[in-house]
Structure 1
Amino acid sequence: MKANPRNMADTLTYKILRRHLIAGELTPGTDITVRPDQILIEDATGTMAAMQFEELGIDTVQVPLAVMYVDHNVLQIDDKNMQDHRYLRTFCDKFGLRYSPAGHGISHYIHLERFTKPGELVLGADSHTSTAGAVGMFATGAGGLEVAVAMGGYGFDFPCPRVIGVELVGRLRNAVEPKDIVLEILRRYGVRGGRGAVFEFYGPALAQLSTSGRATIANMIIETGATTAVFPSDEQTRQWLTQQGREEDFEPLTADDDATYDETIEIDLSELVPLVAVPHSPGNVLPVAELPDTPISQICVGSSVNSSYDDLATVAAALRGHTVHPRVAMTVTPGSRQILRTIVESGVYQDLMQAGARMLEPVCGPCVGIGQAPLQGAASLRTFNRNFPGRSGTAEDQVYLCSPSTAAASALTGRITDPSDRPAIEIRPAQAPDTGMHDLMITDRLPDDVRAGIVVERGPNLVSPPLPEPVSDNLQARVLINVGDDISTGDMAPDGAIAMSVWSNIALCAKFMFTRHDPNFHDRAREWGGGVIVAGDNYGQGSSREHAALIPVYLGVRVIAAKSYARIHRRNLIAAGIAPLVLPTDAPAFDVGQHWSIIGLRQALLDGNETITVEVSDHVEPITLTIDLTAGERTVLAAGGLLAHIREGGRAHLLEPVPA
């Protein structure tokens, strides 16, 4: 652990990072390397992470805890999902991970229940790994290769974030919930304003926010573009860990009293009202009361956010004695098998069922477009975290995001309804959760002598990802596509049962890239042997899925030119050997087929140049692009990506082997 220079007051974020700091200084924007305590992987991103871990040639994971959760690809419309699960199970057995099977629950809720520990650092191959920040952890998502490298003992390298202090004061009014707090932050910051930042929470109102409520905020804070959210470890944390049978894991943690933040905001909870994010962005936030009259055809409660006991019990209490509006199809998803059992024993399950809700198994499901795709053009109200176009599985969807209370009130009226005028409700008290269920369902790390004899089963659906070539000094390419602002990784590697079933095979997955924007993109890229992708602001927002970077590698793309990038996708491009160059804000329009000539890019990376000139056909003047990269990122790109960089000895093996 690096000492705090000059004994300066620390934010809680920097206290935790300092505990894990291996290299670099805690100065925003500079390269740091940290030592993770925990790794979280889920099946949709897990197959690529696992296959890339195998490329490292390491015989066991090099972190104290690594857990693989099967929660995304569970529909099993053919045998592809089962091939993935068999591979992941045998991979875990072979290399020392723990494994949570399909149907046991959503990764973020199970991890919160079973493995979170204040003061530790968890790195996950899923953007919503941030959920664990609810209990005083530094929890952040990354692409599968960066997670594989960290799991192999090389640490996690990323630009040090700035810290935004969020002071919570006042008290939530009737039917206003933690979901409304994070929607208020999204109303202020949009989907770009949190880039490069951690939101750290403090203030007198924290005591009223349960751990599951904090988890809602920590989960969805990622939609601002942030690195993560961090809450203190306090009495609420102690109560949560005690309830989960893990009181010994409690450690009180707060920022120093005189800690200073890079930016501070105040949210008076007593002034908040129920909010809703309207299509097609989590940042398009309005008060529910100001929304035009909006009939709904579907309501979905629960996902990786808002599927806790408190969330489901809140909905059940509002529906008790009533039935869902006949025009509305309603589904409810518990976050874990533990939550499922608790709602059954408390009577919440019966309340929901008798009200007419369809009860789904504890998996991601409709949150990632696997089942419950809504009607085209009809409003679907969901307590989820994202409403990007097409994410629901329907191309012309109209998805709104809200709190459980708003969802329940709307289920009764058949239109999006402000719940704050309804009488206060009383939720059913929960029985003590069955904390032993996870031990029964989640495998243990096997002894070394047993692991040595295990053969990893890799079916034909599992194909190792392509390896990039080093960045060329002479790039001649044509513009393949020109897309706008806030393009999500779901536009590149789409959600839904069909597309996600081939995420373990980049060549097949590539056929779906940009189909919403240009169905001819894949064939054109193959015919031209690659090219340049041009984009607007916040390119690659949303999921950590590195498929959105590996597909361009397969298609021959070596350069992206965008006005700005989302955090995780930008890092995924670099790890995959693709240069994320920055367009000027006043860049001219570029047409598909225009020829670009970029001379000296590799040398510019090595020399630390901040710009590169591009000759564009039909343009009289060259275009100047910015090379906005840290020193470490330049080295990785010049080597041909992170895997090549590791193989060249570019990063020291930091961690001692983990004992069996």
Structure 2
Amino acid sequence: MSPENLTRKILHEHLRQGRLEPGTDITLDVDQVLLEDATATMAAMQFEQLGVDEIAVPVAVVYVDHNVLQIDDKNMQDHHYLRTFCARYGLRYSPPGNGLSHYIHLERFGRPGHLLVGADSHSTMAGALGMFATGAGGLDVAVTLAGFGAELTCPRVVGVELTGSLPPAVEAKDVVLEILRRRGVRGGRGAVFEFHGEGLAELTVTGRATIANMIVETGATAAVFPSDEQTRSWLEAQHRPDDFRPLQADPGATYDERELIELSTLEPLVAIPHSPGNVVPVTEVEGTELVQVCVGSSVNSSYEDLATVAASLRGHSVAPGLQVTVTPGSRQILDTVVRAGVYQDLLAAGARVLEPICGPCIGIGQAPVKGEPSLRTFNRNFPGRSGTAEDQVYLCSPSTAAASAVTGRITDPRRMRLPDRRPHVPSDPSVVDMHITAPLPADERDGVVIERGDNLVPPHRPGRPPEDVRAKVGIVVGDDISTGDMAPDGVIGMAVWSNIALCAGFMFRRIDPEFHDRVHGWGGGLIIGGHNYGQGSSREHAALSPLHLGVRVVVAASFARIHRRNLIAVGILPLVLEHPSDRDRARVGQEWAIPGLAEALRQERESVTAETDEGAVSLRIDLSPREREIALAGGLLNLLAAR
């Protein structure tokens, strides 16, 4: 038997159906499912539509970490629904304030060799523990919970060899920014990045978690790290030594592609507005005046990250006029920084320590002044994600954030004194564990009454795809449009994610405020996009909203992985422009006719032609056999119901 890389080993252990050949359909058995409240309500309502009595995966947890501000009663309605849903169907439930899904799952449930599917794109973070962890839309997660397995396109594996050691003031965040500098936000599509090499020895689990979290910004499916002594040490600190299992690639394992990163040659990097892929050395933007520095939240909110910032701030005050916030990743991390003295250092320097929630990462609080630079250790800087439509967000490491907080402008951390972090005190996992509800015994679940507020509205199922399409172009957008442009972040937009009719009112609001009323008035329409349409979050609301408005076809030069799958799953066809330049011929209000579309699906044709007043446009039907089956049924729920 030929030597295998670690990704293939884990996938082999979980393969239910298909062949491990890149680009083919596979179905995987799943050990763990992660959901967070922003996406969980829709996933849960669709799970209920499947008509099963309980979940069929060993571990499933709902974390409330996004919609927690509660400016009206909508957020709490969602929380009550999710808590009682968990009790009824056998899931664990983590309440508001307990921490972010990615960090708590790493602390309390991540296990080497397991396969996790999460209703959040950054579920990839669990790959730091030697897992295969990937994000998916809510409907796919609902189907996985019901025991149907996880459907996936088999990825290619990129072997990333790390050699040498990181220089002072260069961190794991700079490693993943270097990958983004090389690959951009499209260069990882269809790939898993598997890390190996002697440079891993000193890279901690939380450092690996930073890389695994942000690898999805390349468009990747997952990141996989070996399970080694760093993993053992982490699990022992989490009081879970029995969960350790050594895992690594076989000697001589092969990869579909290779990357080599010599850690000693790296320097501090920054992603400039408005993409995680716009990466430059910090020296190129050094001196940029700042109004805000934000540390933590979805990534870089571990103890070592916060202790790094606190050490640099010790004995200093944050620069006059600068606002600095720090968000711990979990209640356990918050407890540890308090007992270690890190909390006091941050407070004394003038930083604001927020509760352990997503918060400013997804535009809920701390929106910066328009046009003024905000420096953040977060994972995304898409336009408007901060809550400010005309924002200027930069992404960096904790060391760069700390140095910049002292000076008030973007600063190369190598220019600053590098004090030692406060010693890590033993963590106390019980401060998180005691608040996670265990699944009820099976004989007690039937009596649970699920609480459904009026903000909880199940999505409707579409009919089968139309035989012929004749529709007006509702909007034409450019490259790298994110799902945040379709289902916006922020306290107002996210509050209505449990009600697609309300959520749809926010679609493309930043780009074209008239889109909703226009397409709603027409009773449907077409969306025309560029490359990497639908990048970013796994939120299926970005597919359910156009479906609610009557959109059944989206045309783009190329699609991001999760959003493409979400469109298919809810009954919208993603068609690919044979010639990407044809997008430039489309205009709002232009009528497109696509005759024989459903018949083309049935006959397994690879293309159709759209007729427009600018001439014919060739469209590829880039669907696998399984995806065609879903499309012809009018979506995944319809297909499963028919069976």
TM-score by length of 2: 0.99
Q: CA deviation at 1:8?
A: 2.3
**C-alpha RMSD of matched pairs (Å):** 0.7
5+ residue gaps, structure 2, are none
Q: Structure 2 CA distance, aligned partners of 1:198 and 1:140?
A: 10
Partners in 2 of 1:234 and 1:602 — Cα distance?
51
Contact 2:312/2:417 (CA < 8 Å) preserved in 1?
Answer: no
Question: 1:511 aligned to 2:516?
Answer: no
Partner Cα distance (1:450, 1:417) in 2: 58
- Find the aligned partners of 1:630 and 1:291 in 2 and give their Cα distance: 45
Q: What amino acid is the match of 2:581?
A: D
User: How far apart are residue 158 of structure 1 and its match?
Assistant: 1.1
Verify: 1:586 aligned to 2:581, yes or no: yes
Residue 601 of structure 1: CA displacement? 1.3
8 Å CA contact retained: 2:472, 2:591? yes
Distance 2:528 2:87 in 1: 42
Asked if 1 retains the 8 angstrom alpha-carbon contact of 2:286 and 2:411, the reply is: no
**CA shift at 1:600, angstroms?**
1.4
The question of 1:613 aligning with 2:609 is answered yes
The aligned residue for residue 194 of structure 1 is 188
Give the Cα–Cα distance (whole angstroms) in 2 for the partners of residues 177 and 167 of structure 1: 16
Residue in 2 that maps onto 1:652: none
Partner of 2:59: 65
Deviation at 1:467, TM superposition (A): 1.1
| Cα offset, 1:466, TM superposition | 2.1
Letter aligned with residue 214 of structure 1: R
Contact (CA 8 Å) 1:466, 1:553: kept in 2 or not?
A: no
Which position in structure 2 is the counterpart of 1:598?
594
Report the CA distance between 1:10 and its aligned residue: 1.2
Deviation of 1:603 (Å) = 1.7
Equivalent pairs counted in the alignment come to 641
Deviation of residue 67 (structure 1)? 0.1
Partner amino acid, structure 2, of 1:165: G
**Shift of residue 437 of structure 1?**
2.2
The answer to whether the aligner puts 1:344 opposite 2:346 as a matched pair is no
- Residue aligning to 2:205: 211
| Structure 1 Cα separation of the partners of residues 286 and 207 of structure 2 | 28
Q: Aligned with 2:146: secondary structure?
A: helix
Displacement of 1:292 after TM fit? Answer: 5.3
Give the one of 433, 437, 440 matched to 1:439. 433
Matches of 1:484 and 1:206, distance apart in 2: 39
Residue number among 348, 356, 359 corresponding to 1:362 in the alignment? 356
Task: Tell me which amino acid in the other structure corresponds to 2:536.
Answer: G
| CA shift for structure 1 position 311 | 0.1
Report matched runs for 1:630-649 at 5 Å.
Answer: 630-649=624-643
What letter is aligned with 1:396?
E
Unpaired runs of at least 5, structure 1: 1-6, 650-660
Question: Which residue does the alignment assign to 1:300?
Answer: 294
Can you list the C-alpha shifts for 1:484-535, whole angstroms capped at 9, x where unaligned? 0000000000000000000000000111000111111000011101011000
2:375 equivalent to 1:381: yes
Percent sequence identity is 66
Matches for 1:519-558 after TM superposition, within 5 Å: 519-558=513-552
| Cα distance in 1 for residues equivalent to 2:375 and 2:417 | 22
Check whether the contact 1:488–1:541 (CA below 8 A) recurs between aligned residues: yes
Partners of 2:603 and 2:307 lie apart in 1 by 59
Q: TM-score, normalised by structure 1?
A: 0.97
The correspondence for 1:476, drawn from 447, 460, 470, is: 470
Using the TM superposition, name which of 170-179 and 428-437 deviates more: 428-437
Deviation for aligned residue 1:339: 0.2
Mapped contact 1:582–1:627 kept (Cα < 8 A):
yes
Could you report, residue by residue, the CA deviation over 1:534-568 in whole angstroms, capped at 9, with x for unpaired residues? 00000000000000000011000000000000000
Give the equivalent residue in structure 1 for 2:449.
455
Letter in 2 for 1:351: D
Once residues 491 and 586 of structure 1 are traced to their aligned partners in structure 2, the CA distance between those partners, rounded to angstroms, is 22
1:166 Cα deviation after fit: 0.3
Contact 1:276 1:400 in 2 (8 A): yes
- Alpha-carbon contact 1:126-1:543 (below 8 Å) kept: yes
User: What is residue 397 of structure 1 aligned with on the other side?
Assistant: 391
Offset at residue 424 of structure 1 (A):
2.6
Would you say the 8 A contact 1:379–1:397 is kept in 2?
yes
Map 1:48-447 → 2, pairs under 5 A: 48-291=42-285, 293-447=287-441
Cα distance in 2 for partners of 1:466, 1:340 equals 41
Residues 370, 497 of structure 1: 8 Å contact kept: yes
CA contact (8 A) 1:167 1:266 kept: yes
Shift of 1:327: 1.8
Asked if the contact 1:39–1:151 (Cα under 8 Å) also holds between the matched residues in 2, the reply is: yes
Q: Distance in 1 between matches of 2:139 and 2:20?
A: 24
**Cα distance, 1:422 vs. partner?**
2.0
Q: How far did 1:259 drift?
A: 1.0
Deviations 1:58-113 (A, max 9, x none): 11000001000000000000000000000000000000000000000000000000
How much does 1:170 deviate?
A: 1.1
- Of 39-48 and 598-607, deviating more is 598-607
